[in-house]
Amino acid sequence: MVTLSEVENNEYNLNIPRYIDSSKVEDLHDLTAHLNGGIPAFDIENLNSFWEVFPTVKNDLFRQSQKNGYSDIKVESSQIKQTILESDEFKKFKDETIQKYMSWKNRHDETFCNLDIGVSSKSFIHSLAEDLLNSFNDTKLIEKYDIYQILRNYWTNILQDDIYLISQDGWSAGNNVRELVPIKVKGKNVYKETHDFEINKKRYKADLIPPSLI
């Protein structure tokens, strides 16, 4: 977190690179490992944030090499992913992460069901997003702003329009469908949107509730 005093020291310059180091860590190559095999201890230690959460996985994957400062892999490279996914520590981490998401979702289920005419889309997404950030505030290995961005992208691409329709017309907007009108491209009918259903060779799109859900 950037403090006000730090901003003052930068003469109130809000250029992001002044406060966030976006430079990539140099990719160091160990020629001894390349030529003679083995995994440098430096490379394994760079994953300490993972070993803090999955300490036994580290022991399942690596063993001390005869060469000082190097380790050997215990499993075939094709089995590394499976070894991690099947570990009790990973399963616990996955379950706890999903539970945080489900708790956030359940807290807002009633809000979604009670949406009505006049709902403020700005207040709605702000409440969802802030609670999502708080839900993953102390989660290791997961950047909460990555999850936040997933929500914001979904909001921009889909949910924002749905909330706007409900704000204008209420849930009755779910009764409405649009006939899709094709355009001619090289003599063929081309539709700009994917239709939800077709009647008498005419294609229709539901803007709020997909007929497949109904």
Write out the two tokens for 139: 């989660």
Write out the two tokens for 158: 């889909």
Give per-residue pLDDT as tens, 54-76: 999 999 999 988 888 889 999 99
Chain-wide mean pLDDT for the chain? 88
Q: Note whether 191 and 175 are within 8 A (CB).
A: no
Mean pLDDT (whole number) for 95-112? 95
- The residue extents of the domains of the chain are 19-86, 97-164, 176-206
List phi, psi (to 5°) of 24.
-80, 145
Least confident interval from 31-40, 91-100, 137-146, 191-200:
31-40
Mean pLDDT (whole number) for 186-201? 90
Higher-confidence residue of 101 and 17: namely 101
Q: In this structure, which amino acid lies at residue 191?
A: Y
Gap between the Cα atoms of 22 and 123, Å rounded: 32
Share of the chain above pLDDT 90, in %: 60
Gap between the Cα atoms of 137 and 189, Å rounded: 50
List phi, psi (to 5°) of 71.
-130, 160
Place of tokens 């190559």: 29
What integer pLDDT is reported at residue 36 of this predicted model?
Answer: 73
Q: Is the pTM of this model over 0.85?
A: no
Q: Note whether 165 and 187 are within 8 A (CB).
A: no
Give per-residue pLDDT as tens, 12-43: 677 766 666 656 666 677 677 666 778 888 88
What integer pLDDT is reported at residue 20 of this predicted model?
Answer: 67
